[in-house]
Amino acid sequence: MPPFLPSRIAILLAAACVAGCAAPGQAPAHAPLTPTAVREVNRVSWGINTTSLRQAESVGYAAWLRDQLHPRPAALPAAVSARIEAMTITQKPMAQLAADLAARRREADALPTEEERDAGRRDYRQELARLGNEARSRTLLMALYSPNQLQEQMTWFWANHFSVHMDKGMLRALVGDYDEQAIRPHALGHFRDLLRATAHHPAMLLYLDNAQNAAGRINENYARELMELHTLGVNGGYGQRDVQELARILTGLGVNLTGEPPRGGGRQGEVVRAGLMEFRPGRHDPGDKTFLGHRIQGRGMAEIDEALDLLARHPATARFVSSKIAAYMLADQPDPAVVERMARTFTATDGDIAAVLQTLFASPQYAASLGRKFRDPMHYVVASVRLAYDDTVILNTQPMINWLRRMGELPYGRQTPDGYALDEAAWSSPGQMATRFEIAKAIGSGSAGLFRSDDPQPRERPAFPQLSNPAFFQGLQPALRPATLQALGQAGSPQEWNTLLLASPEMMMR
């Protein structure tokens, strides 16, 4: 065995440290995690690291999972909080961002020469791109360092379920708020609240064209996707007439990016506005509608809430949403019996997402699936960085963004509203695997650029990954196949050892 590889003594010491690093004569704070519990932490989180294992071990897995299902406000590392607080999308409300950008675009369009106008529009597009990049960076920082790992996993899941593409129009200035206000607060709450938050958010209304939906000029785009992708599913028992009636219900629900206040005080029949969302009765079809077999009396904004209630509480929604969660957390083709139990919980709890997940986690099929769910690109990239650097805060998320762009799974980068695929077949092609090997090599060699400052004159702080850590010994090593162990034993350098571990078949699974 090469001299740089951990000795048996080092392995035993590291395992003892994971068990609590107790002083002589003192018992650990809690019994060590069982191998199954370690695999469960790996699935519930974005990927095990030493910190997550110690957190679970300090209270026991059952209590840790309860905390994950019902999280308190995330206590982020100080360096992460400072990075996020310094972002424009954090400092400026979405309405101000939109108003500032609209003013910038008007100023560019009013410049006297074509050359000046082109330069002004280019600056406008660059600012949009910067804001979109901030949103992606914040998503990655939260996935890497938030102690509320399940909340962050479900935030990613729901952002994909209620997918919007940031490159449409002004969405790059809106997706940060969409993630922070519409998705994350409801990721483990009630599905009805999540559905309403997305339905009222300007990012969704602009992306699926409901801002253009008006009486006499019906646009069915959002109505169709609201049923097919967000709630009932393609086989949910609705027809084209339901699409048309829901589109009529949604008329008048749009966006006001001007920053000008609406007239009236929000009483029935007057303009209603919340942030950039605006409901204009003058654009709404006032007639009665029949939707999913229910007569909905024409009464403006209240019709939308009634329709959302019908959708959120429909049995087809319980089944469809449960199947999507199971495909994400259990298996590409989840056991129908598990999905049925989840759907019953969904119905009995009025769409309590945490309760639905608890039903999944309690199933024997879940325990049997651990270590067998293929990691999509986002999971692979985040899990690799978490394992390599634990809670050492990276300085630059751009390499991660670039890797996700190469593999085709950028946050808010899916052009079509169906979201990214959840199955292995979508992400396991030879080209995908070759890219993962390159990523493993970049991280494993310490030359990935994750610790290069984002200053005008960037400097890189050396940070060689310490992959032979307690998370490896306790979480990964016991599951390594003989072929992987043999390859690691033949590595010619620490860099090669790191690369082989990160590119191993076991690292592709969760």
* φ, ψ (nearest 5 deg) of residue 97: -55, -45
Same domain, 171 and 80: yes
Average pLDDT over residues 114-129: 96
Least reliable range by pLDDT among 102-116, 255-269, 280-294, 326-340: 255-269
Angle among Cα 135, 467, 1 to the nearest 5 degrees reads 155
Mean pLDDT, the chain, rounded, equals 92
pLDDT of residue 403: 98
Residues 359 and 431 in one domain: no
Residue 291 β-bridge partners: 294
> In this structure, what token pair is assigned to residue 93?
């409300």
The residue among 286, 293, 285, 287 whose CA lies nearest residue 310 is 293
Q: Is 234 domain-assigned?
A: yes
Which DSSP helix (H) or strand (E) runs through 289?
A: strand 289-291
Q: E strand or H helix at 295, and its extent?
A: strand 294-296
Residue among 141, 145, 209, 208 at smallest CA distance from 176: 141
Q: 382, 140 in Cβ contact below 8 A?
A: yes
In this prediction, residue 258 has a pLDDT band, given cuts at 50, 70 and 90, of confident
The answer on 77 and 24 residing in a single domain is no
pLDDT given for residue 104 in this prediction: 93
The CA–CA distances, whole Å, from 485 to 132, 152, 491, 497 equal: 41, 32, 10, 10
Q: d(Cα 304, Cα 199) in Å, to the nearest integer?
A: 9
The whole-angstrom separation of Cα 197 and Cα 202 is: 10
355-379 CB burial, b ≥16 within 10 A, e <16: bbbbbbbebeebeebbeebbbbbbb
pLDDT tens, residue by residue, 409-443: 999 999 999 999 999 999 999 999 999 999 999 99
What's the token pair of residue 379?
């999971």
Inform me whether the pLDDT recorded for 165 exceeds 80.
yes
How far is it, in rounded angstroms, from Cα 265 to Cα 304?
19
Domain check: are 337 and 212 in the same one? no
What's the pLDDT score for residue 58?
96
- Among 367, 398, 430, the domain boundary falls at 367
**151 in a structural domain:** yes
Q: What SS3 state is found at 72?
A: coil
124 shares a domain with 80: yes
Among residues 89, 99, 91, which one has the least CA distance to residue 133?
Answer: 89
Q: Span 10-15, mean pLDDT?
A: 34
> Is 152 a domain residue?
yes
Name the pLDDT band for 459 (thresholds 50, 70, 90): confident
Amino acid at 416: T
DSSP string, 170-203: TGGGTHHHIIIIIIGGGTTSBHHHHHHHHHT-HH
- Residue 470: per-residue pLDDT: 87
Least confident of 146-150, 256-260, 472-476: 256-260
Mean pLDDT of 56-68: 97
64 belongs to a structural domain: no
Q: Supply the DSSP string of 423-492, one letter for each residue.
A: SGGGT-SHHHHHHHHHHHHHHHHT-SSTTB--SSS--B-------SSHHIIIIIGGG--HHHHHHHHT-S
Model confidence over 21-42: pLDDT tens digits? Answer: 333 334 345 678 999 999 999 9
How many Å apart are CA 339 and CA 337, to the nearest integer?
Answer: 5
Whether the pLDDT of residue 244 is over 60: the answer is yes
Tell me what pLDDT residue 20 has.
37
Helix (H) or strand (E) holding 369: helix 364-369
CA pair distance 428, 447, nearest whole angstrom: 25
What confidence tier does 261 reach under pLDDT thresholds 50, 70, 90? low
CA–CA gap between residue 509 and residue 48 (Å, rounded):
12
Q: Into how many domains does the chain fold? A: 4
Q: What is the pLDDT of residue 29?
A: 53
Domain stop point among 346, 367, 388: 367
Domain presence at residue 61: no
**Mean pLDDT to the nearest integer, 235-251:** 97
pLDDT at 304: 98
Cα–Cα dist 504/465, whole Å: 16
Residue 217: strand pairing partners: 214
Asked if 105 and 226 sit in the same domain, the reply is no
State residue 263's pLDDT score. 55
C-alpha 155/C-alpha 46 separation (Å) is 12
Bridge partners of residue 294, in order along the sequence: 291
Query: Quick one: what percent of the chain has pLDDT higher than 90?
Result: 86
Which pLDDT score is estimated for 21?
Answer: 38
Kindly report which listed range (183-197, 235-249, 259-273) carries the lowest average pLDDT score.
259-273
Domain carrying residue 304: 205-313
Q: Is residue 197 part of a domain?
A: no
Residue 472 and residue 502 in one domain: yes
Joined tokens for residue 369: 């699936």
Whether residue 177 is found in the same domain as residue 218: no
pLDDT digits (tens, 9 = 90+) for 14-26: 333 333 333 333 4
Lowest mean pLDDT: which of 69-73, 152-156, 174-178, 445-449? Answer: 445-449
Q: What is the mean pLDDT of residues 299-313?
A: 97
**126 found inside a domain:** yes
Both 177 and 118 in one domain: the answer is yes
Band of the pLDDT at 3, cuts 50, 70, 90? very low
What angle, rounded to 10 degrees, do the helices at 35-44 and 149-161 form?
A: 40
Give the chain's end-to-end CA distance (angstroms, integer): 28
Cα 155 to the center of its chain, rounded Å: 4
Average pLDDT over residues 93-112: 94
What is the rounded CA–CA span in Å between residue 132 and residue 67?
Answer: 31
pLDDT at 453: 81
The pLDDT, as a whole number, for residue 27 is: 37
* 3-state SS class at 111: coil
412 lies in the same domain as 363: no
| Residue 277 contacts residue 304 (beta carbons within 8 Å) | no
Residue 261 in domain:
yes
Q: Give the pLDDT confidence score for residue 481 in this predicted structure.
A: 95
Instruction: Please tell me whether residue 284 adopts helix, strand or coil conformation.
Output: coil
Yes or no: say if 163 and 417 are a contact pair by the CB < 8 Å rule: yes
| Structure-block tokens of residue 32 | 């060590």
Same domain membership, residue 163 and residue 79: yes
Query: Which of 189, 218, 248 corresponds to the end of one domain?
Result: 189
Q: Both 350 and 379 in a single domain?
A: no
Which pLDDT belongs to residue 446? Answer: 92
**Run of H or E residues at 273:** strand 272-274
